Amino acid sequence: MPKDVNPDDRAVGRRIYAARKRKGMSQDEATRALTLPDGAMSLFERGMRSVPAPILGRIADLFDADLSYLVTGTAGRSEITPTERDLIRRYRKLSPESRIALYRISETMEVRA
């Protein structure tokens, strides 16, 4: 590891890399989605540059990753799984009527469980 790489930045970068790969995005796609300068994602992932907090939050949102995990390597209190996060994202896109219908379905499923 080069002398100028902070081990904490390197660890954050590895977690960002893993989250991006899980999401199935290339560095270029992530860079465009986050409106970052060319090469910024590479610098972050390799730990060559510290990720500013506002950008780290946007990265977590884009990759559906736990912000606490990206920073510390341990899950935050919410411990929402990627699948649960995806369900929430999809739910938020539903019309009010569809949300009510889905709620009723979940009540029925809960009774059966």
The set of residues, in sequence order, having a beta carbon less than 8 Å from that of 56 and lying 6+ positions away, is 12, 67, 70, 71
CATH code assigned at 64? 1.10.260.40
**How many structural domains comprise the chain?**
2
71 and 90 together in one domain: no
84 and 73 together in one domain: no
Least confident of 13-17, 69-73, 77-81: 77-81
Residue 83 has pLDDT above 80, yes or no: yes
CA 77 to CA 92: how far, in whole Å? 22
108: domain range?
Answer: 80-113
Residue-wise pLDDT for 21-75, tens only, equals: 999 999 999 999 999 999 999 999 999 999 999 999 999 999 988 888 899 988 7
CA 18 to CA 3: how far, in whole Å? 23
pTM here is: 0.66
Confidence of residue 80 (pLDDT cuts 50, 70, 90): confident
Residue 101 has pLDDT above 80, yes or no: yes
Is the Cα dihedral 56, 62, 63, 66 positive or negative?
Answer: positive
40 and 71 together in one domain: yes
70 and 94 together in one domain: no
91 and 61 together in one domain: no
103 and 70 together in one domain: no
